[in-house]
Amino acid sequence: MAEAGRIVAETFEAIKDSIAPDVSTEELDRLASDFILKKGGEPAFKGYRGYPATMCSSINEQVVHGIPSGRRLKQGDIVSVDLGVRYKGFYGDAAVTYAVGGVSPAARTLMRTTEEALWLGIAQAVEGNRVSDIAHAIQKHAEGRGFSIVRSFVGHGIGRSLHEEPQVPNFGPPGKGPRLLKGMALAIEPMVNAGGWQVKILDDGWTAVTADGSLSAHYEHTIVVTGAEPLVLTKLP
Ligand code: MF3
Ligand code: CO
């Protein structure tokens, strides 16, 4: 799993300088796919329930599961890139929201808050805590900044499958759900909206957008619960 996670992290490094005005999300998808294959991995999302691409690229009001296309990024957009890799039978999964050129202060604050919420959630992923302690830390931070938490998508266990038990919601009271045990691997992935939490799915059957058209950000890491600090597998040392 550590190796799968490392390939995910390296893929973000490999594509991030190309995330700039005028690149199409299809071109980014190709860069990611080529890199993953070169490393001996397989894109984990391609073919998953019929998903057609290597990454999800969700622009502005798109929340998650945006399908790469000929659409070109433009100055001021934010784009959430979500990537999964399968390597020697194990999965890694992560997401980052990028600014395309300079973006509005509101977009910056949303991105920063969502990333902070992810790290506060990760900090709760310690032996003996419960799954909803992660959720509560994320929700408290995002809502404390006046943002809202998407409810219809959640994080998940991960390992020999992309999605395993338990579900890891990003909202809820603390102290509920399964107890976290040493060795559990989780993909923690807050999706935070600038406006309301409601989302709808576009006619392509995949792309989730905010119902009110407000901006949305998404950050994700694959982590392992240990006796001490969580190990973050999708981050380079
Ligand atoms: N990070 C998302 C998840 O874990 C991405 C899944 S996209 C899909 O659910 F195409 F694989 F569905
Ligand atoms: Co995930």
CA distance 174 to 225: 18
Q: What's the whole-number mean pLDDT along residues 221-229?
A: 96
Which residues have C-beta under 5 Å from ligand 2, the single-atom ion?
93, 187, 189
The pair of structure tokens assigned to 32 is 């990611």
Half-sphere exposure of residue 183: CA atoms within 13 angstroms, side-chain side: 0
Ligand nearest to the CA of 55: 1
CA distance 20 to 146: 29
The residue range of the domain holding 110 is 2-232
The CA 65 to ligand 1 mean position distance, Å, reads: 7
Closest residue by Cα to atom 2, ligand 1, is 82
H or E, element range at 140: helix 131-144
Predicted confidence at residue 121, as pLDDT, reads: 98
Predicted confidence at residue 157, as pLDDT, reads: 98
Whether the Cβ atoms of residue 35 and residue 27 lie closer than 8 Å to each other:
no
For the chain, what is the mean pLDDT?
98
DSSP designation for 159: S
- Using DSSP's 3-state secondary structure scheme, residue 199 falls into strand
**Band of residue 40 on the pLDDT scale cut at 50, 70, 90:** very high
Is 237 part of any domain? no
Q: Output b/e per residue, 75-89; b: 16+ Cβ within 10 A.
A: eebbbbbbbbbbbee
Predicted confidence at residue 78, as pLDDT, reads: 98
Report the atom number in ligand 1 closest to the C-alpha of 155.
4
Tens digit of each residue's pLDDT (9 = 90 or more) over 48-98? 999 999 999 999 999 999 999 999 999 999 999 999 999 999 999 999 999
Indicate the top mutation candidate among 12, 46, 65, 85 to test ligand 1's pocket, ranked by most ligand atoms within 8 A of CB: 65
| Ligand 1 pocket member 51 (CB < 6 A) | yes
Whether the Cβ atoms of residue 32 and residue 83 lie closer than 8 Å to each other:
yes
Tens digit of each residue's pLDDT (9 = 90 or more) over 112-158? 999 999 999 999 999 999 999 999 999 999 999 999 999 999 999 99
**Band of residue 195 on the pLDDT scale cut at 50, 70, 90:** very high
Whether the Cβ atoms of residue 135 and residue 180 lie closer than 8 Å to each other:
no
CATH number of the domain where residue 27 is located: 3.90.230.10
Report the atom number in ligand 1 closest to the C-alpha of 46.
10
Q: What's the whole-number mean pLDDT along residues 161-188?
A: 97
Is 159 part of any domain? yes
Is 172 part of any domain? yes
Is 59 part of any domain? yes
Residue corresponding to tokens 């792309």:
207
Report the atom number in ligand 1 closest to the C-alpha of 44.
11
Tens digit of each residue's pLDDT (9 = 90 or more) over 200-209? 999 999 999 9
Is 146 part of any domain? yes
10 burial (CB, 10 Å; 0-12 / 13-18 / 19+) is middle
Is 12 part of any domain? yes
Query: What letter represents residue 88's amino acid?
Result: K
Is 170 part of any domain? yes
| Ligand 1 pocket member 187 (CB < 6 A) | yes
Predicted confidence at residue 84, as pLDDT, reads: 98
Domain count for the chain? 1
CA distance 194 to 47: 31
Query: What letter represents residue 65's amino acid?
Result: H
Query: What letter represents residue 5's amino acid?
Result: G
Task: Give me the residues paired with residue 149 across strands.
Answer: 192
Report the atom number in ligand 1 closest to the C-alpha of 56.
7
